[in-house]
Every structure is written in structure tokens, then in C-alpha cells.
Amino acid sequence: MAQVTLRKVVKKYDEVLAVRGIDLDIADKEFVVLVGPSGCGKSTTLRMIAGLEEITGGDIAIGGDVVNDVPPKDRDIAMVFQNYALYPHMNVYENMSFGLKLKRTPKNVIDQRVRQAAQILDITELLDRKPKQLSGGQRQRVAMGRAIVRDPKVFLFDEPLSNLDAKLRVQMRTEIKKVHQKVRTTTVYVTHDQIEAMTLADRVVVMNGGNIEQVGPPNELYHSPRTKFVAGFIGSPAMNLIPCQIEGAGDALTIRLSDTLSLAVPPSRVARYRAHVGKPNLLFGLRPEHLTETRQHLEADMQTFDVKLDVTEPMGMETLVYFNLNGIDVCGRVNPNAGARDGTSMKLCADMANMHLIDDKTELVL
Amino acid sequence: MADAAVTSPAGAPTRARYGSMSRDRRWALRWSYFFLILFAIFFLTPPIYMFITSLKTSQEISAEINPWWVFNPTLNNYITLLTQNIFLKFFLNSAIVAVCTVTITMCISVIAAFSLARMKFWGSATLATGVFLTYLVPETLLFIPLFKMFAWVNETLGIQLMNNWWTLIILYPTLTVPFCTWIMIGYFASIPKELDEAALIDGATWIQTLTKIFIPVALPGIIAATIFCFTVSWAQFLYPLAFTTSTSELVLPVGIITTLIKGDVFNWGQIMTGALLGAAPPLIIYAFLMDYYIAGLTAGATKG
């Protein structure tokens, strides 16, 4: 069993608080991705789990044992670095077997484990090569191989795909997922790429300013963000956040976005939002895919309105349309055949069943 | 539909001219070669003159004829020197001193540089700068205090450090350790931090990280430092001149001067031969390790 537990973990560099007392429980065999903008403390958290950074306060436990003062080599973890960190003077086989040799593992066991890992990663034919003779993707595979052979309790990945080009990154992402399905080791993965986070994780941990904003399965984070930061960070293009006011009373509430545009709140949300009628500092959140071209048969919570498009971006399978609403650029996703053109008018349809209401002051989703 | 290609009135496609660029390059190359030849003449003239003189007899050297030509070449100077026991003794003293100095220096420098570059401890940055500042102190300032220290050692411990060739093995590292440490700090600093972190996670101790990762990876830098160290201790003149006096305790540079210049009589043929033979070992080492030397110096200097 290799759960990882973080309790009130704090990291302070001189007077700067990099991690502000976070709590996190990672279950055995779980794939958890820490995601956030640069400087949010995600890499520091990972390095504290690895033992490469001392913790200023709190406890970190691996497999139930507190490891605050345990050196990295005794934590039974393996780490994959952004720049691979392969030993340049050793060939692939020696790179992968280095850790086991230091542990004085018998030679036949080392050989068996290296070949098994090489088979999983499809690098058997590269075992005699030096790192400089390998491509970026192959190096990354070797780095993963070095981690796998040690059969650790926990895998730690520190932005392992950042140095690869876009195409290879997508390919390696799938590889990492496949490897995790095969070896089922508890994994903590750090990235700033929210798509990587969404595609790989059993659970995503969104970090910001040294705090954990929200923890949950990718879909939960996407559809039910708890804070303004998570709503804006997860999803690409980002969720539209438009200042608004709630008007009306009784069973009919509307969201006023501009002097000329107001949209009715779905009946199922009326009770939830009634207390916020007339209050300032509210944001209306709607993802671009819930702002589409109008259709013949509209569902109950869909409402249409006319806009003048500023810019359209054809993406092939869809077209992104941008229009201005009270000085804010709003993005919608329409069918490429819907006839969206720069500078023309278009009738758009907002799916209000997927709307979010955010208090801009507390930055919480209401 | 309009033709998108840009064509001249005659119909041939126009093309931008970049002639001036290659002309600039040609001129740059000419100047480079001019200065390279100038440098080559400047630096090669003394050894060529030494070589020519070493093949001459004393009569030919003192004769008023073209000094840049050998009219009656002879190997007598080489034979005389190489059959003299005292010259071979100088050579042996120099070799032992140089090899011991290199060994001691590299043992200290590599470990010192590794700890200063990687094991962040209180005062490590100041200490690293201090190491470099030590190198900046000229040796001419040091030998008088060293005399005092040797006298003190003799008075209190009864060990006579003066006039012993092995004293040089203790002295030379004071010159070589600071510079070699500084070169190695630069080289170790250019090795990605993740490499020692990976080793740390793989279960390596600091010593294993040094011996199994850093030394093999930094080998070009270590070789560059070794060559520097060997050259300094082989060619060192001031300290052996100041601290050794008996003929049997002399090293090559001082030995040649003191035994081949008798009063105002300069045995030029043998002096030049001795100097050439003395220059041979560093030259041979440079020739074999040149590629490593260049890689080491540039890598250390530019920090990756």
C-alpha cells in the first residue's frame, strides 16, 4: 500500500511562502496531477514529497510512515525530470540499472527488471545506446524506464513532457497512461498544461499561490468548479466570465449582462440564486461550447440573442467566434457550417443549464 | 486570375542580391588569416630559434654568420645532456614533483569544487570567491612569508624544509589548487542540478554521486585542470630558485640555468637543448589531450 498523505505542509524560502499549509490524500495506485500556473507551488510540493526540498512545517507520509526527515533514497520513490536527467556517460541499460546496482541487487534480477521495463516502454533495441544518440521521446522513455525498474512505492513526474514538441507530447501522454495502467503505481504528476492534467489524472489538484484551490476528478473540476480560478484555469478556450446582475423576484430571475441583453435563469437554479438578487460583484460564467449557433429545436434552458462578431477562428471541426460585450471579449464555439464571418451579425444560443454564477469578491462559485 | 509570381519586365524572376555579404566574409577571413599568421610568427620564432641553436656547435653559435641557418648540424648538445647524470636527475626531480603536485591538487580541487558547487552550506559562496582571490595573490609576494614559515617549522619541529626537492610538492599546490578548484567549480556548476538529484533518488551517497556521476561527466574539465596543473608545476621557476640550492635538489628549469651558465660563460647550445627537452613533456601531453583541453576550458567558461 502506498498512499501519500500531506498534512498542513508548509514551505518557506526566506520570507516567501511557496506552499501555504496544504492537505492532500493520494490513494494507493491513484494517478494524481498537480496543475497550476508557474510559481503556484506545484513543483515545490512534488520535490518535498521526493525529499529534494526540506519541509518548513507539517507532515508528509508515504505508505503510512511520516518521511519528513527520511532522505530521498530511503523514501522508495522514483522521479522523472523535465530535462530527463539521464547520466550522459552511461548507456540506456546502465542508466536504468544504476539505482539497483547501488542497492546491490543481484545481477540476474537487475537484468530481468531492466529488460522487462524496456519491453513495457518498447526501448529494448536502444539498451546499448548513449543518451545523446536518442531522440527527445526516447530519452523520456528511458527516464521512465529508470523509474519503473526500481519498482518504487510512488512515481513522481516533474513536467516530463514540457521539453517535447506538441505532437510527441500527445503521443507520450498516451504512453504514460498506458504505462500506469500496466504497472499501477501511485503517481504524482506535475504539469502546467491543463489538458495534460485532464487527460491523465484520476484526480486533478489545482494549485494557485501556494494553496490548493480544488481537488477532484477531471470532469468534476470542469463542470463544477468551486472557485473563479478553477473556472478560468480549466478548459481551453477559457470560460467566459462576464460581470452581471441578478434581477427579478419570485420564480423568474434574469441575469443582466448589458443594457440590452438579459438571460433568464433556469428554473432549477432560481432558488439557489434568489439571495443574490441586486448584489454587486457578480460574474456570469459560461464555457464557449455552451455558446453555440442557434438551432431549430431549442431545449428548455437555451436562449438566443444577436451579436456582432469581431473575429472568427476556424479550427476545422469547429469555429471559435469572438464578440464584445460591455468591453469584454466573449468566445463561442459554433459549427463550421453555421456561416460565421468576421464583422457579421449572428444569432447565438446560450445553454443556461451549464451556467455558473461567481462572487467576484470571495472568488467562490455560488 | 492575376499571376502571383513577381517577374521582371523581361519575364525572368527577380532575385535579391547578397553579394556584399560574401564580400564582407571574404575580407573578415583575410584579416583573420593575417593576424593568425602574425601570432604564429610571434609565438613560433623563439622555439624555432632554440631548435636551430641546439643543433649548432659553440663555435658556430659565436661566429658572425646568419644565425637562422645551421651550416654544420650536430647532435652533440643532445648527446652530452642526455648522458649527463645531473641533467637526468633534474628531469627526474621535475617529473616526481609534477606528478605528485598534479595528484595532490586534483584530489583536493575535485572534492573542494564539488562541495563548493553542489553542497550548499553556510558560507560556500564566500568560500568559492575566496578560492579565486587566493589565486590572484602573486607568488612573488608569498615566498618571503614562506621563508619565515619554513624557519619557524625548523625551529619548533626540527624539520628542515629548505633545500629539499620534495618541499616543492608542498609548495606548488598553493599555486595550483585555487585555480584548478575555480575551473572545476565552473565545470561542475554547468552540470544540470537534476543529475545529482536523480542520483540522490537512485540511492547514491555524495561520494558516489561524485565518483560515479560527476567525475565521469566532468572528465574534460578535470583533464583541462590536470594539464594546467602539470604545466604550472613543470615550468615553475621562482619557488625552486628560492627554496632549493644544492645541485642534486634542483628541478629542470632552475637546473639548466645554474649548471649551464658558469659565471659569464653561457653554454647556449646546451641551454637551448635543455630548454627544448624540458618543453617536450607538456607539449606531448597537450598534443594528446588537446581536444579534451579545449572542450574542458570552453565548457567551464560558458556554463552550459
Yes or no: say if A140 and A160 are a contact pair by the CB < 8 Å rule: yes
The answer on pLDDT for B297 being more than 80 is: no
Amino acid identity of residue A336, one-letter, is P
- How far apart are the C-alpha atoms of B37 and B29, rounded to whole Å? 12
- Confidence (pLDDT) at A250: 66
- Confidence (pLDDT) at B87: 86
B203 contacts in chain A (CB < 8 Å)? 73, 99, 102-103
CB interface of B with A, residues 185-204, below 8 Å: 192, 194-195, 197-204
* Residues A113-127 pLDDT 10s: 999 889 888 889 999
- Distance from B104 to chain A by nearest Cα, in Å? 26
The CATH superfamily assigned to A4-228 is: P-loop containing nucleotide triphosphate hydrolases (3.40.50.300)
Instruction: Give the residue from chain B lying closest to A51, CA to CA.
Output: B201
The mean pLDDT value for B185-191 works out to: 88
The boundaries of every CATH 2.40.50.140 domain in chain A are 240-365
The mean pLDDT value for B43-57 works out to: 91
- Distance from A110 to chain B by nearest Cα, in Å? 14
The mean pLDDT value for A7-31 works out to: 90
A82 contacts in chain B (CB < 8 Å)? 194
The boundaries of every CATH 3.40.50.300 domain in chain A are 4-228
* Residues A271-307 pLDDT 10s: 888 888 888 888 999 999 999 988 878 787 888 888 8
Yes or no: say if A343 and A308 are a contact pair by the CB < 8 Å rule: yes
Residues pairing with B206 in the sheet:
none
CB interface of B with A, residues 135-154, below 8 Å: none
* Residues B226-272 pLDDT 10s: 988 999 999 898 889 888 888 888 888 898 888 888 878 788 888 89
* Residues B115-138 pLDDT 10s: 998 887 888 889 888 888 888 888
Q: A149 CB contacts (<8 Å, ≥6 apart)?
A: A96, A97, A99, A100, A110, A113, A114, A116, A117
The answer on pLDDT for A33 being more than 90 is: yes
Closest by CA position to B51, among listed B267, B270, B266, B272: B272
- Confidence (pLDDT) at B2: 43
The answer on pLDDT for A84 being more than 80 is: yes
B212 contacts in chain A (CB < 8 Å)? 98
Decide the pairing of beta strands B261-262 and B265-266.
Answer: antiparallel
8 Å CB contact of A83 and B204? no
CA distances from B257 to A197, A254, A258, B90, B267 (A): 75, 104, 98, 11, 10
Nearest by CB to B197, which of A52, A99, A146? A52
- State if pTM tops 0.90: no
Yes or no: say if A291 and A329 are a contact pair by the CB < 8 Å rule: no
The CATH superfamily assigned to A240-365 is: Nucleic acid-binding proteins (2.40.50.140)
A·B CB contacts under 8 A:
55
3-state secondary structure of A93: helix
8 Å CB contact of A88 and B217? yes
- Confidence (pLDDT) at B268: 87
- Confidence (pLDDT) at B133: 87
Grid cell in block for residue B201: 533518488
- Distance from B213 to chain A by nearest Cα, in Å? 7
- Distance from A101 to chain B by nearest Cα, in Å? 9
- Confidence (pLDDT) at A1: 62
Nearest by CB to B198, which of A71, A81, A89? A81
The answer on pLDDT for B5 being more than 70 is: no
Closest by CA position to A159, among listed A38, A307, A336, A302: A38
Confidence of residue B15 (pLDDT cuts 50, 70, 90): low
Taking the Cβ of residue A71 and every Cβ of chain B, the question of whether any pair is shorter than 8 Å is answered with: yes
The mean pLDDT value for A180-200 works out to: 89
Probe site for chain A from B193, B201, B206, B210 (most A CB atoms < 10 A): B201
